[in-house]
Each structure stands twice: as structure tokens, then as C-alpha cells.
Amino acid sequence: MKTVNHWIGGKPVEGASGDFGPVYNPATGAQETRVAFASVAEVDAAVAAAKDAFASWGTVSLAKRTAILYKYRELLDAHRDEIAGLITAEHGKVHSDALGEVARGLEIVELACSIAEKLKGELSTQVSSGVDVASIRQPLGVVAGITPFNFPAMVPMWMFPVAIACGNTFVLKPSEKDPSASWRLAELAAEAGLPDGVLNVVNGDKVAVDRLLEHPDVAAISFVGSTPIARYIQAKAIEHGKRVQALGGAKNHMLVLPDADLDFAADNAINAAYGSAGERCMAVSVVVAVGDTGDELVKKIADRAARLRIGPGDDPASEMGPLITKEHRDKVASYVHGAAAQGAEVVVDGTGYTVEDHPECAGGFFIGVSLLDKVPTTADAYRDEIFGPVLCVVRAETYDEAIELINSSKWGNGTAIFTRDGGAARRFQLEVEAGMVGINVPIPVPVGYHSFGGWKDSLFGDQHIYGNDGVRFYTRGKVITTRWPEPSEEVGINLGFPKNH
């Protein structure tokens, strides 16, 4: 059986703890790999390697850093199909979706290639007689990232390319459910010429997470995952004096106004709700139908849902793959089973789905898509982040009622409005309480040079991830005030507070 080990100090390191976790192929349900779980000592070794590497990497010129990153970008591009194959094998998403994940991660590598522009300081001359003031940004040192299963390549690439481009060294703790893609990213970074110890990967569970949060040589923690864990990460990181950006969960609403093109809205609702089997924090999980649009819109979504092709991710005909584990599949199904008792109308029930034309998938973690209409806001299916292919439809009589409903949610990750009315769209983008807003765009994930992050219980910390916020998070500012007096200049003694003149 294949074993995924650690990557420390520029080379593979076999797990020494004796503790391993199973890695399944979600399409078949079979365990094909195991992953070594790091002990405290192994995490310490990764941090020590990163600390040793920072002594030189932090002073490497921007020209040399970007040359390595350009080479890295070329290698990732050349191996994108291979990386996507690793994602499909361990996560389950269809290959085309996995390729899209790699492409979006590459955007952040490209941002990192332009780091020289992002790290330009500021200079003010003659702020006082003969005095200049400059501001610069410098790296923090060793930083770490803890990433989720749903994007095993993209989310790590949201973090470490920007961090190392800024001069930091990095320790990555990927999800233990699908670790191979992250390990391959580190291997390719070494091939690109990244010095030993600049990027390290330790696999594991809570033992590894807690050690990174507690380690005195780790200056900052980046995290993407569920809201309860994000809250824990923030509290623990702050307790140990670290910077933290912890992105949590979501319940993203898509508002459909009566003037919207309902076919266009239905297509986008299908794509945003059921893509990646709903296992993404930017998935649309609630459609808010305003006025008399509800019945027709629900019918159009249901008709499209019936035509979706669900199967193994390596089958080009599949549009949606399985969920990550059997336990998660069963949990998602429980929300559908309980919806009717809590007042919802189950229009499409995807539980109990089987892949009939792939006998090898009989034990896979498959579930069909579900559509719930007239869902009360008190129902569990509305209140909880399901993280699966379940779409709730909520009715609202007016725009004002709809915006109040959306803003009352404890989450504020992403949201969207579908309308032909520019005035309504502009009002929505100003009034809605969410960090990312789409206008006729259902999944408004920002491009690499804008930052990703939500509001309220979707973000714990002060900075969003990647883009300009990412650069600010992985650096700290320094202000330098300079004066070069003339040889004949006499300053004299003045104990008063300095004044500019």
C-alpha cells in the first residue's frame, strides 16, 4: 500500500510516529493509501528546518526568489494533469473540476511571481529639514498553513507561494484525507530550485495542528476549514502570540429577483450548488426566490438536476463525483431525510443514489443531488453548513425581506444576486453583509490579485487571504527615519518632544 510521508528540509522523510491514517478512493470506497501522522518531534523537525532556511532565504534577492517561482509555475503547468489526477483519486471530484482547481491555484503562484511590485516601499523626502522617512515590509520568519480536504492543491497555493515570495519559510499541514497533491506540490517546488527547508509538509491530525499553534518559532498561522475549528485556531494562535487568518464556513445565499432570466439563474444555481458535490465553502446552498419567481425557478432547477450525470471522477462523462467519506455522505443524507419533518418540501431526494454503470463503484461514497423548497429558516438544512449537494430554496415577498433574511445569517462568506436591474444590483452590493459579492456571478471567488475572505463567522482574524491582504499578512511594516547632518551643523541639546520644521 502506498504511504504518504512528510517533506522536511527538501527531501522525503518517513513517518516515525508509527501512527497512520487511511486515505480512501471515494469513488470505490477502497483504501488505497495510508498517510503518516506526525508526532510533536516531527513537527518540531519541520519547524527547525524552516527556521534554519529562513536565515538565508529571508535575505535572498527578489530577483532570485521570483526566478524560482517562475520556474515553479512552469513545472506546475506541465504537471497540472498529474496533480488533477491525484486530487480526483483521493478527493473524488471530477477531473475537469480538479483541473480548474489547479488553474486557480496557479493564479496565486503568478501573483507571487510579481512580488517585487507588491513589496515596493514608500519614501517621503524632506519631511523635516534634512529628514527623510521610508516604510518597508519585511518577512515574519517561519509561518504555517493548515488546509482542508476540499481543495487539496488550490488552498495550499493560496498560502505558501505568497508567503515564500515575501521571504518567509513555510510549514504546511494538509488534510489527512487527501494529502498526495500537497506533497507533490512540495516536490515540484524543490525541482524548481526552492532551497531546502523553505517549504515543508507534515501530515497528521490534531497533534500536528496543536504543535504548530503552540510552537514558539512559528510566527503566523493560516487556516481554511469549518467555523468551529477556525474559531479554535484563532483562539489558540492568539494565546501563543501568533498572527492568524482563519477562514471558516458559510451558508451562501443567491438572491433571484423577478426580473432575472430564470433559465440563466437556474443554470447557475445548478453549477454553484452541485459543483464539487457541494463540498466548497463558496457553494450556493440557499436560493432566495423573490415574489412570484419561486415555482417556475424550482421547476427549472429540478428539471436540470434530473439530467446531471453522477459517477467516478475519472470518467469523462461524470459531472459530479462522490463525497469525501462514507460518514460525510451519511451526514449529508440525514439533512435531506429530516427536512420534511421540519417543514420543507423535498422536491428532489438524492439520497440512496447508486452508480449503476460502474460496478467497481458499488462501495463508493456517492449521493445524488437534492433540492428542498419552502425551507423554514428554523430548519437544520437552512441553519447548518451541510457541505454537500443539497440546495435549499427560501421564498421572500420583497427585496427588503430577502436582504434582511440574508443579513441575519451568522455567516457572511459569499453571496450573489441575479437581476437585470442595475440599480437593484448596486443597492445589493452595498447593503449585503458578506465579504464577497457576485452580480449575476454565483461563485464570486476573487482573482488572485484581489483577496479572498468573508465576514462574521466566516472569518476569524484581520486579514483576508492572498492578494494584497496576503502580502500584508505575511510581512510586517518598518518605518525608517533618516537624517544626514552636514559636518558643520550643530544640533545642540533639546529635551523637548521632536517637532518637524
Residues with a known catalytic role: 281
Which SS3 state, helix, strand or coil, does residue 456 take? strand
Cell of 369: 443531488
Q: Which residue has the cell 499553534?
A: 213
CA distance 63 to 54: 17
CA distance 417 to 413: 14
C-beta neighbour count of 19 within 10 angstroms:
14
- Read out DSSP for 195-208? PTTSEEE---SHHH
How many residues does the structure list for the chain?
A: 501
- Read out DSSP for 396-416? ESSHHHHHHHHHTSSEESEEE
| Cβ atoms of 393 and 289 closer than 8 Å | yes
Q: Which residue has the cell 521571504?
A: 167
CA distance 289 to 295: 9
DSSP 37: P
C-beta neighbour count of 164 within 10 angstroms:
28
51: which residues sit within 8 A by CB, 6+ positions away?
141, 142, 169, 217
186: which residues sit within 8 A by CB, 6+ positions away?
7, 172, 199, 200, 201
| Cβ atoms of 89 and 180 closer than 8 Å | yes
CA distance 302 to 305: 5
The CB-side HSE value for 442 (13 A sphere, CA atoms) comes to 21
Q: Which residue has the cell 429577483?
A: 257
CA distance 500 to 484: 15
Is residue 180 exposed (0-12), middle (13-18) or buried (19+ Cβ within 10 Å)?
buried
The CB-side HSE value for 462 (13 A sphere, CA atoms) comes to 8
Q: Are strands 414-418 and 411-412 parallel, antiparallel or unpaired?
A: unpaired
